[in-house]
Amino acid sequence: MPTSKSQPFRVIQIGFGSLGQHITSSILKRDNLELVSVVDASPELANKPIRELLQDDIDSDVTIADDLSSVLDSTKADIAIVATSSSLEVVGPTIEECLGSGLDVISICEELSFPYQKKPGLAESLNRVAKQNSKTVVGTGINPGYLMDLLPIVLTGPCQNVDTIRVTRHMNSSHRRPSFQKKIGTGMTNQEFRKNIDEGKITGHVGLVESIQMIDAALNLDLDEIEELPPEAIIADSKITNSFATVEKGDVLGLKSVGVGRRKGEEIVTLDFQAYAEATPQYDEVIIEGLPRIQQRIEGGVQGDHGTIGMILNLIPIVINESPGLKTMKDIPVPRNTMRFWKEE
């Protein structure tokens, strides 16, 4: 792990959507990181200078490229950040191309956070390509990637016994990016919400199953059934307006999604995710029934977009120094703030 000040880590940002733009701004503001390129598939963004699109007043000469291959051929970088899609089928080829060009990769693709059970073939392929190129790939984020998986795993450290784990995330989604509020159905009628969820036009939260699988693998819980219950709409009992939408009484504020892991019919892990406009109070809570019993509540919750970006920035030095292969958050050294870590030539 580098500790002395030398060179910044050179970063390519892939995906310049809602989150990609914030990640880009945050990279530019961090002294130990250097943004060398931004790539996005959208034709509307091609060749545009990022300083014209970023909300922050930022001085950068970087323009958006639409052809990843030519960027990889012409740019010397250490790592790529991939923020394009929740689907591993979609991000897989992009990640493999980056690994093949000698870059480590961090992605916030939810399905990458623990891909071994849902997408074993893709996981095996990513692991093989990473090892062939002596590089590392990790899926991270605030959730999945931290609050509902790594955090409860770490909290079991002092437990002599663990009987059950319950994690609740109760979030006011009015403070989240518009693409998040859209995917949880804010402003839809209940009927539109059901139809959009059933047709896969909105996804709700993605990652509960991956988080339970990661906890199971980390603690050898021997779960024999992992189930994600259908998302439930949370309905407004009065009209509310936020910066994203006006929600009429009876329409959808957001959703509740629950994932459970069972052993012989007994519920061992429960993840309860609730995100809706004007939810109060906000908190993230882990309750471990065991010896000792542990109850940890983060009052106010962790703001998800800031937290996701923090996870990415902080993981850059850790992933660059990690041994090759496909890794998950339970496999790598403890995440921590790394703003004072530099690359050693």
Ligand X SMILES: NC(=O)c1ccc[n+]([C@@H]2O[C@H](COP(=O)([O-])OP(=O)(O)OC[C@H]3O[C@@H](n4cnc5c(N)ncnc54)[C@H](OP(=O)(O)O)[C@@H]3O)[C@@H](O)[C@H]2O)c1
CB nearer to ligand X: pick between 126 and 294? 126
β-strand pairing of 225-228 with 161-172: unpaired
| Site stretch for ligand X (CB under 6 A), options 30-38, 123-131, 135-143, 246-254 | 135-143
Among 2, 20, 254, 317, interactor with ligand X by CB under 6 A? 20
| Site stretch for ligand X (CB under 6 A), options 14-22, 220-228, 236-244, 325-333 | 14-22
Binders of ligand X among residues 185 to 224 (CB under 6 A) are: none
Binders of ligand X among residues 28 to 57 (CB under 6 A) are: 39-42
CB of 181 to ligand X, least distance (A): 10
Report the alpha-carbon distance of residue 21 to residue 62 in Å, rounded: 13
Question: In angstroms, what CA-CA distances link 322 with 23, 80, 131, 193, 333?
Answer: 22, 15, 12, 42, 8
Q: Residue type at 145? A: G
Binders of ligand X among residues 52 to 111 (CB under 6 A) are: 83-86, 94, 108, 110
Report the alpha-carbon distance of residue 13 to residue 81 in Å, rounded: 5
CB nearer to ligand X: pick between 60 and 87? 87
CB nearer to ligand X: pick between 81 and 188? 81
For the four alpha carbons of 17, 234, 276 and 107, in that order, the dihedral sign comes to negative
Among 11, 12, 13, 16, interactor with ligand X by CB under 6 A? 16
CB of 83 to ligand X, least distance (A): 5
Q: Per-residue x/- marks for ligand X, 286-325, CB under 6 A?
A: ----------------------x-----------------
CB of 98 to ligand X, least distance (A): 11
Among 6, 69, 179, 295, interactor with ligand X by CB under 6 A? 179
β-strand pairing of 33-39 with 64-65: parallel
Q: Does 284 bind ligand X (CB under 6 A)?
A: no
β-strand pairing of 64-65 with 266-276: unpaired
CB nearer to ligand X: pick between 282 and 343? 282
Burial of 159 (0-12, 13-18, 19+ CB in 10 A): middle
Report the alpha-carbon distance of residue 39 to residue 15 in Å, rounded: 6
Select from 330, 332, 306, 307 the least CA-distant residue to 319: 332
Report the alpha-carbon distance of residue 22 to residue 35 in Å, rounded: 13
| Sites of contact with ligand X (CB under 6 A) | 14-20, 39-42, 83-86, 94, 108, 110, 141-145, 177, 179, 308
